[in-house]
Chain A
Amino acid sequence: MMADGSRPKSPEPARAPPDGPLAPAFPGGGTASLALSERVAARFFQLCAVLAALAAIAVAATLGSEAVLFFTEVSPVRFFSELAWTPLAEEPRFGVLPLIAATAQITAGAAVVAFPLGLLTAIYAEYYADPRVAGLLTVAVTVLAAVPTVVYGYVALNFVTPALRNIWPSIEAYNGISACLVVGVMILPTVALLSRGALKAVSPSLTDAGLALGASSARVLVRVVLPAASRGIAAALALALARAAGETMIVTLAAGNQARLTWSPLEGIRTLTAYIAQASMGDAASGTLEYRAFFAVAAVLFAITYAVNALGRWLAGGRR
């Protein structure tokens, strides 16, 4: 990556342009003269691609169609403007804002924990640590990445919340802050691993040049390394945010299941994901409004995370 963050133009296409200069010229031009193995292989790979595309379409179409059915009964205006989510009440109200607010709170809280910790850990491992210490840090981050989210949820509920009760005796058994802290730890590896990758891509000649001009290491990092790696780091942060917003087990176990708008991190809140997890365990019958409600919520979640993830991939320059 260059200093200004733009990507150098590749001198050659990264993959063979099919039917371009690299594809072998077959006599007759068509594929009929190809050996059987060639045709079988081509068909197999094509079939795989079709299956993958079908799976993607099936996911989007399923969510979309049930959500559309939901919105024929509940107007989208009410869905996005009412302030109460009480699908099981006598007169059910479907205002998704409390759920979105809770998801935003958890995601923001997790970002406050994970962004500085993950980025500084990556900088330290890449530029300051002994090889042994850097190796140890890699192991620690890999372990944190391997821990299943349900295990994080267990720790949040049974250890983090009781520990926080020593600081705030009034904390509820289910609360936002415990979930924020633990979701932050859960996305820490995403931030640390991906931003370290972005740091690695910064050419050593840039840092050497900065140091040779007499700049301190901190100055080189802030003025040279971080600007050069900014797109990669931003991509890492976006992907981490998408993971935090979609995290289910930690918030279901630790943040509780009360859909309410509150600024207090000590009270229980209900995220988009926690609602889906709880509602689906209730065995709602197909075709009921209750069943369709969690497809509508899942569609909202899908849209949010898909957009954030697409942004992250675009920032990372993964698509050409």
Chain B
Amino acid sequence: MKRFRHHGPVSAAGSVAASVTLATAMTLIAILLVQARGVLDFGFLLGTPSRFAAQAGIGPALAGTLWLTLLTAAIACPVGVGAAVYFEEYAPRTRTMLAIESAVANLAGVPPLVFGVAGLALFVRGLGLGSTVLAGGLTLAMLALPTVLVTSQEAIRQVPTGVRAAAYALGATRWEVIRRQVLPAAAPGIVTGLTLALARTAGAAAPLLVIGAASFITYAPGTPGDPLTALPTRVFAWSARSQPGFTALAAGAGVVLLALLLVLHLAGMALRRRLAGAAR
């Protein structure tokens, strides 16, 4: 596009930095794959944690992470997108409303760990849910909510005012304008935000540690009331053990988690492309 010619100190420094970035990403993936080779098989994916590295698997943790992601999506997506629609399309633009809006939006940068501490007091102890999948899902939903809200607001704001004006001029009501014009046009951007938020929460270990994700659950959670276990905390538990067998297990669980997140990203991109096509 607006490319500069290759010479001069900035170009040289830039190419060095870019090479380092590229090499870092490749080294990271190589380390994980090399460490995890020989671990990844069906026995590992479906098996249960064990004191013996050779027999250990990630079945319950994998099921726990799928549960948590579903619960987070079910809570944070409607509430976050709905709140974004309210703030952009309904809310009176008073000082108070803008203050509320930015107070919620600034939570997007608060560390996941802090949401875990709040979740411990609110859900695990306050509501008496204990360290269950439901408490984990609610905590992660609180974590995802500000990100979903901010990205959805950005997407809705990108819809030209003229589109709304034209629809209103034709006699559409506010809900009709939102349903038929604003949301379809903003959908690709909203999906990107949802993907980002869900990937961030699915990979988060810190809040789950705080609310008491047990690393030694030997059965897969079948309902939201079952004890909490998840892939990121599984990686943590194995990483902290220095015996060689467990290092490989941590890498294996890490590779599965990373693969899951990349699948989530790819699914989000595919959905975004379809929605962008449909809006045109």
Q: Which residues from chain A contact B106 at a C-beta distance below 8 Å?
A: 306, 309-310, 313
* Residues in B whose Cβ lies below 8 Å from that of A149: 203-206
Residues of A within 8 A of B13 (CB): 120
Question: Is the C-beta of B80 less than 8 angstroms from some C-beta in chain A?
Answer: yes
Task: Decide yes or no whether B277 CB sits under 8 A from chain A.
Answer: no
Contact B10 A143 (CB under 8 A): no
A104 close to chain B: CB less than 8 A: no
With a cutoff of 8 Å between Cβ atoms, the chain A residues found around residue B25 in the complex are 140-141, 143-144
Q: How far is the CB of A118 from chain B (nearest CB, A)?
A: 8
The interface-forming segment of A1-9, A85-93, A153-161 is A153-161
Which of B14, B82, B89, B254 touches A16 (beta carbons < 8 Å)?
Answer: B89
Across-interface contacts of B54 in A (CB, < 8 A):
none
Contact residue among B7, B26, B175 (Cβ-Cβ distance under 8 Å from A38): B175
Q: Residue B78 at the A interface, CB < 8 A?
A: yes
Q: Contact: B111 with A59, CB < 8 Å?
A: no
Query: Is the CB–CB distance between A221 and B107 below 8 Å?
Result: no
Contact status A128-B117, CB under 8 Å: no
Any A CB within 8 A of the CB of B232 = yes
- B191 part of interface (Cβ distance < 8 Å): no
Contact between B239 and A280 (Cβ–Cβ < 8 Å)?
A: no
Q: How many residues of B contact A (CB 8 A)?
A: 107
Q: Which residue of B lies closest to A19 (CB)?
A: B92
> Which residues from chain B contact A22 at a C-beta distance below 8 Å?
161, 164-165, 168
Q: Which residue of chain A is the closest to B251 with respect to CB atoms?
A: A154
Return the CB mask of B95-124 against A: 1 if under 8 Å, else 0.
000101011111111111111111011100
Interface: B171 (CB within 8 A) = yes
- Pair A14/B109 contact, Cβ less than 8 Å: no
**Given that A49-B82, A154-B250 are known contacts, is A116 also in contact with B2, CB under 8 Å in the complex?**
no
Q: Which residues of A contact B226 (CB under 8 A)?
A: none
**A247–B114 CA distance with the chains assembled, in angstroms:** 11
B156 to chain A, nearest CB (A): 8
Q: Chain B residues near A129: list those with CB within 8 A.
A: 18
- Provide the B5-25 mask, 1 if CB < 8 A to any CB of A, else 0: 111111101111110111011
Instruction: Tell me the residues in window 1-28 of chain A with beta carbons closer than 8 Å to chain B beta carbons.
Output: 12-19, 22-24
Would A121 and B17 be within 8 Å (CB), given that A19-B92, A42-B174 are in contact? Answer: yes
Complex contacts, A253 vs chain B, CB 8 Å? 236, 239-240
- CB contact under 8 A between A14 and B161, given known A127-B2, A150-B239, A217-B4: yes
B residues 230-248 near A (Cβ < 8 Å) are 232-233, 235-236, 239-240, 247
Whether the Cβ atoms of B262 and A146 lie closer than 8 Å is yes
A218-B11 CB under 8 A given contacts A48-B83, A53-B104, A246-B111: yes
Q: Mark A125-144, 1 if CB is under 8 A from B, else 0.
A: 10111000100110011111
Q: Does B272 contact A (CB under 8 A)?
A: no
A148 within 8 A of B: yes
Tell me if B209 is interfacial: C-beta within 8 Å of chain A.
yes
Number of interface residues of A (CB under 8 A): 109
Q: What is the CA–CA distance of A222 and B257 in the complex, to the nearest angstrom?
A: 41
Which of B42-50, B66-74, B141-149 touches A?
B141-149
A155 touches B31 (CB 8 A): yes
Interface residues of A in 215-250 (CB under 8 A from B): 216-218, 220-222, 239, 242-243, 245-249
* A48 x B79 contact (CB < 8 A): yes
Whether, in the assembled complex, A110 has its beta carbon less than 8 Å from a beta carbon of chain B, the answer is no
Known: A46-B90, A123-B14. A148 touches B109 (CB 8 A): no
Please provide the chain A residues from 87 to 124 with a CB less than 8 Å away from any CB of chain B in the complex: 116-121, 123-124
Known contacts A44-B82, A313-B105; is A148 also within 8 Å of B204 by CB?
A: yes
Instruction: Say yes or no: B164 contacts A124, CB within 8 Å.
Output: no
* Min CB gap B164→A, angstroms: 5
Bound-state CA distance A281–B208 (Å) is 10
- A201 contacts partner chain B, Cβ-Cβ < 8 Å: no
- Judge if A290 is at the interface, Cβ distance under 8 Å: no
The answer to whether B21 and A280 touch across the interface, beta carbons within 8 angstroms, is: no
Which residue of B has the minimal Cβ distance to A298?
B117
With most chain A CB atoms within 10 A of its CB, the pick from B2, B32, B125, B212 is B2
Complex-state Cα separation, A217 to B6, whole angstroms = 9
Q: Is B199 an interface residue (CB 8 A)?
A: yes
Taking the complex as formed, is A74 at the interface, i.e. its CB lies under 8 A from any CB of chain B? no
A140 touches B22 (CB 8 A): yes
By the criterion CB–CB under 8 Å, are B205 and A148 in contact? yes
Taking the complex as formed, is A58 at the interface, i.e. its CB lies under 8 A from any CB of chain B?
yes
> In angstroms, how far is the closest chain B Cβ from the Cβ of A265?
20
Provide the A38-78 mask, 1 if CB < 8 A to any CB of B, else 0: 10011011111101110110110011001000000000000
Residues of A within 8 Å of B171, CB to CB, are 24
Contact of A46 among B86, B88, B98, B164 (CB under 8 A): B86
Residues of B within 8 A of A (CB): 1-11, 13-18, 20-22, 24-26, 28-29, 31-32, 78-83, 85-93, 98, 100, 102-118, 120-122, 125-126, 142, 145-146, 149-150, 156-157, 161, 164-165, 168, 171-175, 178-179, 199, 203-206, 209-210, 212, 232-233, 235-236, 239-240, 247, 250-251, 254, 257-258, 261-262, 265
Apart from A127-B3, A155-B28, A298-B114: 11 A-B pairs, beta carbons within 8 A: A41-B175, A44-B82, A123-B14, A133-B18, A137-B22, A143-B262, A148-B203, A150-B254, A151-B235, A188-B21, A277-B210
A/B interface sample: 17 pairs, CB < 8 A: A22-B161, A24-B172, A37-B175, A45-B85, A49-B82, A63-B117, A119-B17, A148-B205, A148-B257, A150-B205, A151-B235, A153-B236, A246-B114, A249-B206, A308-B109, A309-B106, A310-B106
